[in-house]
Structure 1
Amino acid sequence: WGNFNSPLLWDVFAISTYFSVSTVFWFMGLIPDFAMIRDRAKTPWTKKIYTFLAFGWGGKAKHWQRFEELSLVLAGLATPLVFSVHTTVSFDFATSVIKGWHSTIYPPYFVAGAIFSGFAMVQTLLLIARKVCHLEEYITMYHIEIMNIVIVLTGGMVTVAYATEYFIGWYSGSRFEDFTYLSPGAAVGPYWWAFWSLIICNLVVPASFWFKKARTNIIWTFIVALIINIGMWFERFDIIVINLSRDYLPGSWTMFKPTIIDVGVYLGTIGFFSVLFLLYARTFPVIAQAELKSILKISGETYKAKEGDEHH
């Protein structure tokens, strides 16, 4: 039996709640689009599937009213859950007595890191979908630049958290704190490559987004998003591996050596995620058609050009 006194039980409730609300929010937003696909289906089998997914959507005024109300409620629930779930996950580390983990900065640090890495991952997938599906008219440079601004702001929060961890470890005067994942010992120790990969990928490279020329460059944006994804992987690696490889008993210090199973499972998760994303893009709308139609008239280039001609 599992240990129900373990902090890992907190993860079960936090992640399951977050997953449930996110799934309902995601599916509910797709219902008008499912109805659109249902009405355009060419085969009986496809029509049956999307009829079931559309939940009887008819586009009536009452349907839209309930749709908007539910969207507002779920958005209100999902927003604080972003903070609560990552705070709860950080408690798994912060409530332990392992050096490098027992830190009060972990909750805000994990929240900022989640938004930072989340936007980078979305940016990575967004730019690929934008190019492959020819969505340049809908996903404009304005959207990409705004996302880059969020990345650089949350990256600044992560930088402050890194600096705080480093400074407090040094200021404490504890010899054991010199072997945590953010310490002078980590910078020159056996895991120096992981430490500097973290610093370069999460601090140095994203700082380029302070300049508008970098924020509005598609290729550079894609490269930076990939680098941030790599850097956040190194952050997890450093937090787990470096802190556990150097405990309070020097005689038990060791180096982590991944097995072929470890590498296979890790690569398998990347492949599994990629397959799910491609299946989604193949069967569901990549962007919300219903929301797009509601703003296209006033935000589209054709409408703007027409308005400009009328004013002249």
Structure 2
Amino acid sequence: MAETAYTGTLDPLEPRNLVAPHHDDASLNETLLAHVWAKPGKGWFMLFGMTLSALGLLVIGVTYTLARGIGVWGNNQPVGWAFDIINFVWWVGIGHAGTLISAILLLFQQKWRTSINRFAEAMTLFAVMCAGLFPLLHTGRPWFAFWLFPYPSTLGAWPQFRSPLVWDVFAISTYLTVSALFWYVGLIPDLAALRDSSKTKLQRTLYGMFSLGWRGSGRHWHNYKIAYLLLAGISTPLVVSVHTIVSFDFAVSLIPGWHTTVFPPYFVAGAVFSGFAMVITLIVPARKYLGLRDVITDRHLENMNKVILATGLLVSYGYMMEHFVAWYSQNQYEFWTFYVNRATGPYAGVYWLMITCNVVTPNIFWFRKCRTSIPIMWVASIMVNIGMWCERFIIIVTSLSQDFLPSSWGIYTPTWVDWCIYVGTLGLFGTLFLLFLKFVPAVAVSEVKELQLELKHAALHPHDGSEAGAGTLTHGAH
């Protein structure tokens, strides 16, 4: 089916289409399920080969680490936490946009989440999987990781529940479990659609098994809506709690630059900031090459850029508050950390790159031309994630490398094993995401059809109080 991108040309104050108005159920099925049944192109295979190669680096790095111990990493004294915790916090942050888009926007009945929630939910799962590898490996003996869980043991060894590291275990495992359930429940109607349109017995059997006998009856839809809403309600506090608990790893310590009450809200804002940036990074090329511009319109992208702008301002405010408190407290250690070590110390280049990417870059989205320009938003989203990685590097390394005693100061340098594991997790994320695009509908088909029905109803009954007036559907058709 030929793709006709719908962008909309209405007054910015009026609601604009979230789905191109010329579609019906049949054409939406054809558009949204086509990439599952289509044979992958050369581009897909090329990207898959690249991500598999990067995944091979992960295998090499993890194997070498397990064989030789974490002494092969660059971690030293006093920088006992380094690349592993940097990347752990970065990946957990990236996973936050999925829950925000799926759960919170669902509860607030924001219809623009419909076409992008599946991308974001998948990204959340894969990002949290990548994040979980780092603290597991950092234990040194991951085959004993079950010691972190409270279970009846003849050794009488119980986890130290006053440690935020143990809080992390429960927060991340809960987040992964609820996110996986939320993603899977939302998939069930679409898996049934794939089952019904399958062309081979194997496909019909596999999709039939995962669709759990879905028939689309009124009872099924009733139970589905209740389960989906309950999971959204459970997921919503996790957006705040998970990265708040991650921030406690630092905030409850006495290290200069860490011991601050601004960390929980500032970490949550940064997580949503980097998460939405990653959604833009992934969805822009996928939208083009999967032919989804009719359902992922410029309005979706512009709204996400507005969230990036808002959370970017919150992150900038967090930076200002850190520096203000360091100055106002007259604490010489805090002052040294923020005004001397970070700005002019051995890692000053990373610090100023962070400021450029996280403070300067998001402000281009004040201008609508930038919010709606595909090349600009895509480059900006990549810069934001580079900046957020630099932020985690600065927080962890600068505070540990120069703390209270100059006699214990040291310089941290990552080793080739550190880089292999980090690049390898990018490969793992990319491999899982490409497989997701191949075997699962990238957009929630049933939700887009429901939205299209609502928009058509609004067009036929323009005075019924619906958010979409008659003008919404009468403009911009190609």
The answer to whether TM tops 0.5 is: yes
The answer on whether the counterparts of 1:148 and 1:209 sit within 8 Å (CA) in structure 2 is yes
Q: Residues of 1 paired with 2:472 and 2:241: CA distance?
A: 47
Alpha-carbon distance between aligned partners in 2 of 1:66 and 1:16, rounded to the nearest angstrom: 26
Alpha-carbon distance in 2 for matches of 1:305, 1:40: 35
Describe the superposition over 1:105-134 as per-residue Cα deviations: whole angstroms up to 9, x where unpaired.
Answer: 111011111111111111111112101101
Secondary structure, aligned partner of 2:433? helix
**Aligned match of 1:292 in 435, 448, 456?**
448
Alignment map for 1:123-202 (pairs within 5 Å) = 123-180=280-337, 182-202=338-358
Of 225, 231, 242, 2:387 maps to 231
Match 1:4 to one of 137, 144, 159: 159
Distance in 2 (alpha carbons) for counterparts of 1:82 and 1:75: 11
Aligned equivalents of 1:256 and 1:37: distance in 2?
51
CA contact (8 A) 1:178 1:186 kept: no
Q: Which has the higher helix share?
A: 1
Higher mean alpha-carbon deviation, 135-144 vs 182-191, is at 182-191
> Quick one: which amino acid aligns to residue 255 of structure 2?
I
Query: d(CA) in 2 for partners of 1:236 and 1:308?
Result: 48
Is this contact kept in 1: 2:244–2:265, CA < 8 A?
yes
CA distance in 2, matches of 1:63, 1:30: 14
Tell me what 2:407 maps to. 251
Pairing 1:268–2:424 present: yes
Long gaps (5+) in structure 2: 1-146, 149-157, 460-469
1:298 CA displacement: 4.8
Aligned residue identity for 2:304 = M
Question: What aligned pairs does 1:84-95 form with structure 2 within 5 A after superposition?
Answer: 84-95=241-252
1:290 is aligned with what amino acid?
S
Q: State TM-score, norm by structure 1.
A: 0.94
In structure 2, distance between residues paired with 1:101 and 1:73:
36
- 5+ residue gaps, structure 1, are none
Give the Cα separation in 1 of the matches to 2:349 and 2:375.
Answer: 26
Deviation of 1:185 (Å): 3.2
Stretch of structure 1 that moved more, 170-179 or 134-143: 170-179
Deviations 1:288-310 (A, max 9, x none): 0111111224548xx8899649x
Equivalent residue for 1:23, pick from 163, 180, 191: 180
What TM-score, normalized by structure 2, do the two folds share? Answer: 0.62
> Percent identity over the alignment?
48
**Paired residues of 2:342 and 2:394 also in contact (CA < 8 A):** no
Distance (Å, rounded) in 2 between the aligned partners of 1:175 and 1:106? 20
One-letter code aligned to 1:204: V
Is residue 52 from structure 1 mapped to residue 197 from structure 2 by the alignment? no
Contact 2:192 2:207 in 1 (8 A): yes
1:205-226 CA distance string (max 9 Å, x none): 1111011111111110101100
Q: Which has the higher contact order (CA 8 A, sep 6+)?
A: 2
Contact kept, 8 Å, 1:155 with 1:202, in 2: the verdict is: yes
Letter in 2 for 1:191: Y
Preserved CA contact (<8 Å) 2:341 2:398: no
1:62 matched to 2:62: no
Query: Quick one: structure 1 residues 45 and 149, their matched pair in 2 at CA, closer, same or farther if it must change by over 3 Å?
Result: same
Taking the aligned partners of 2:400 and 2:255, their CA distance within structure 1 comes to 8
Q: Deviations over 1:249-277 (max 9, x none)?
A: 10121111111100111110111100010
> What is the aligned partner in structure 1 of residue 232 from structure 2?
75
> Structure 2 counterpart of 1:119, which letter?
F
Deviation at 1:178, TM superposition (A): 3.1
* SS of structure 1 residue aligned to 2:208: helix
Which amino acid counterpart does residue 168 of structure 1 have in structure 2? V
Whole-angstrom CA distance in 2 between matches of 1:164 and 1:4: 35
Code of the residue aligned with 1:223 in structure 2: it is: V
